[in-house]
Amino acid sequence: MIRLMVGLGNPGAEYDGTRHNAGFWFIDKVARQLKVPLAPDRAYFGMASRANRPNGPLWLLEPMTFMNLSGKSVSALARFFKIAPDEILVAHDDLDLAPGHMKMKFGGSHAGHNGLRDIQAQLGTGDFWRLRLGIGHPGIKSEVSGYVLRRPPVSERMAVDECITQALGVLDLLIDGPMDRAMMKIHARPAPPKPPAAQRPPTLSAVASAIAKVPGLHDSAKTSSAPSGTDAPPAAKPAH
């Protein structure tokens, strides 16, 4: 069961919509779906909201500490409400997945992600859930810093949004479990669209039937083949 959902990103208008803020995009949509608007909370160094659910409250959090200090915000809220690391899900951008792909996992390393690195350091463990939202890789390691802080093209943003929509479709499972079922739904790829059926040429009977239905066509054919009623003059006899 998840008691705290965290989305990672950087605060401020200059970072709004950048790839590194994919975690914010996810939490924004969760808050809208649950109808619990995020509000500044200085005690937890971020934007937070609480959703009261049948199995207990769920907290949503967007750290406003900048990415490298995300753990300061997460640990403050988790410790105050005695939320265990395995009751936390962190949504974040992932360079190793292409836009339009996402993965869910429990535990593991921070894989160079500074937000995960600080959360792991502040909690004292990496044993928390992660929702990895693919943003793609620039292809050159030295370009990563600039890449994650730029806004993606519309097509890539739409691909990430489609993943978030898919995750929202199984939100109850993400929160209440069982987590293995939630992972199966998250990792499921939509079936490709079926190709259109091949067009077969019409049969002769179908063509004849269609011709017969053309108004006036049958009558005009009869008229053209009927005798005119006027006898042709007899051929002249050759002169002897």
Residues recognised as catalytic: 20
pLDDT one-digit tens code per residue, 52-87: 999 899 999 999 999 999 999 999 999 999 999 999
User: Looking at residue 93, what is its pLDDT?
Assistant: 97
**Distance separating alpha carbons of residues 115 and 7, to the nearest angstrom:** 10
pLDDT mean over 98-103: 95
pLDDT one-digit tens code per residue, 119-143: 999 999 999 999 999 999 999 999 9
* pLDDT greater at residue 214 or residue 124: 124
pLDDT mean over 9-19: 96
**Distance separating alpha carbons of residues 78 and 28, to the nearest angstrom:** 20
> DSSP label at 86?
G
pLDDT one-digit tens code per residue, 155-173: 999 999 999 999 999 999 9
Strands ordered across the beta sheet of 46-53: 39-41, 46-53, 56-63, 4-7, 88-94, 129-134, 102-106
